[in-house]
Structures are given as structure tokens and as C-alpha cells.
Structure 1
Amino acid sequence: MSDSDLINLYSGRILQLAADIPHIGRLDTPQGTARRRSPLCGSTVTVDVIVKAGRVAAFAQDVRACALGQASAAVLGRVVIGRTLAELTEARDAVGAMLKGGPIPPAPFDSYEVLIPARDFKNRHASILLALDAVCEAMVEAEKAA
């Protein structure tokens, strides 16, 4: 990876998102919890959710990830409240497809476009998807508990 590749990958916008992640912490009594880890880099994200009427009513995340994983968690944190499992699963799949060269996910997940520079760095894709994987898993757990 050249210096210019690193500069493009870790843009100011990505670093700005990484520094301002919404919903940091843990919920006291979540209905669903999931912890996901990227074996390649060791990044981890733990997500707690409370679901009402099939939608995320409360959300918290403990993010111990690289700047790309943090930026992804920040994008998710800004739009997760009120989303259904189906919407979140579609978003996860759309972000994964975007990283493989597909289109930008539709609104409200279109801010993931900031991570397009990571397309060429396949070893970073798992870290970017951690928060999305974790929230989908936590939603499944919450729906089973309901």
C-alpha cells in the first residue's frame, strides 16, 4: 500500500466519522446482543438492541475497531433507530456489494459511500461490515426473545 493509497483510504471524512460514533456504550437490559470480531485485524463490535413493534427502539454499540470499522459504526449509529431487521439485512448486503464494486446503498444508508475507497482493500471489508453484522445478529436474538 503506497502513501497515496493510505491517504485516499483514510480520508478526513472517514477519520471525522471515526471520532464521532453515536450510541457508544451498552444498554442495561437489551433484548438482543451480538459481538462480532474480525479475525484478520482483531477489530470487535458489540451491539445491544431493544426492539418494539419489529423496529430498533434503543441501540448501543461498543466499538473497538480500526478507523474504517469505526466509520462504519458511525454511519450505522446515525440511522439505526426505527429500522427493521429486513432493512438492516438489506443494508448489510448492499454495503457488502458496494465494497465489491456495486452501487452505493440506498438511503438512509447512502452515507456508506464514504467507504468506497476501501473497495481495493479486501482485507478491510470484514471490519467495515462488523457493526452491520452485529446489529442484524442482535435483532434476530431480540425477535426470538419476544
Structure 2
Amino acid sequence: MKLYSERILALASDIPHLGSLPAPEGRARRRSPLCGSTVTTEVTLRDGRIAELAQDVKACALGQASAAIAGAALPGRNRAEIEAARDALAAMLKSNGPVPAAPFEGYEALLPARDYRNRHASILLALEAAVDAVAAAEEARARDAG
């Protein structure tokens, strides 16, 4: 099947930032109800940007490949940048939009997944969990400051 290219399988086998953080400021878990894939993301922030990142990925090869691409691109990004990448990835998959902009251009590897709508949710998990984790960290900081 063209969907599981060597590049996708290579990405799936080399996910950066696996594990957990000793003291995350934000944590989020996202699950795809269709396939049961889950991604949990933990972050710490510095100046509103991801300073530390950890991922726990229990997903199909496409979800793992997505987590690998996200894991490489997420450090140093703020929530708005991650939301833009998530939205661009959704548009790429669902409405033939362009590949997300740098540093998320690695999602080009998942262009063949456009034709497999039942896989889209799993592919989006890593960026959705990252957005939620950053939002949770921002909320915790606001609570602590208030």
C-alpha cells in the first residue's frame, strides 16, 4: 500500500522526545475514537514557547509518523504557531490544502493519507495534544500569577 512508504515507517520508528517530563507545566492527552490511537504531550514554557517537550505515543504508523514530525518541529514554538500548523495540516488532509509551512513542512510525507479519511484523526493527534498542553501551561501560569 502506497500509504505506508519507507519514509513514513522510518519516521514512525524514530519519534523524538518520547517519555515524560519531571515537572511539566502543561499536559494533554488526545485520543482518536475511531482507531483508539492516543498521544499525550507534556511541556514546559519559556517566554510563551515550548522549552521542554515529552510525548507518549500509542498510535498507528501514521500517528507515530505525525508525532515524529511534530516532535522535531515543536520545540521553540508558541501556541499560535502550533494552532496554525494544526489547521494547515487539517486543510492539507481534508481539503487538498498546501503542506504546512516550515518548520512543519515534514508533513509532506503524509500527503498520501489524504485519500484515507479514517486516518486523519490519528494524524492530527500530535498537534492537537501539543496545542492543549501549551494552553494548559498558559492557564497554570495565569492561575499562579493571579
Same fold (TM over 0.5): yes
**Residue matched to 1:4:** none
TM-score by length of 2: 0.95
- 120, 123, 126: which one aligns with 2:115: 120
- Report whether the alignment pairs 1:27 with 2:21: yes
Can you list the C-alpha shifts for 1:86-129, whole angstroms capped at 9, x where unaligned? 00000000000000211111111111010000001100000000
- Report whether the alignment pairs 1:67 with 2:61: yes
Q: What one-letter code is carried by the residue in structure 2 that aligns with 1:36?
A: R
Q: Shift of the alpha carbon at 1:70?
A: 0.2
**Residue matched to 1:3:** none
RMSD, aligned α-carbons: 0.5
TM-score by length of 1: 0.95
**Residue matched to 1:106:** 101
Correspondences of 1:53-64 after superposition (within 5 Å) = 53-64=47-58
Q: Shift of the alpha carbon at 1:65?
A: 0.1
Q: CA–CA distance in 1 between the matches of 2:120 and 2:129?
A: 14
Correspondences of 1:123-142 after superposition (within 5 Å) = 123-142=118-137
In structure 2, list runs of 5 or more residues that go unmatched: 142-146
In structure 1, list runs of 5 or more residues that go unmatched: 1-6
Q: CA–CA distance in 2 between the matches of 1:63 and 1:99?
A: 21
- 37, 58, 70: which one aligns with 1:76: 70
Q: What one-letter code is carried by the residue in structure 2 that aligns with 1:23?
A: H
In the alignment of these two chains, the number of paired residues is 140
* Segments ≥4 residues shifted beyond 2 Å: none
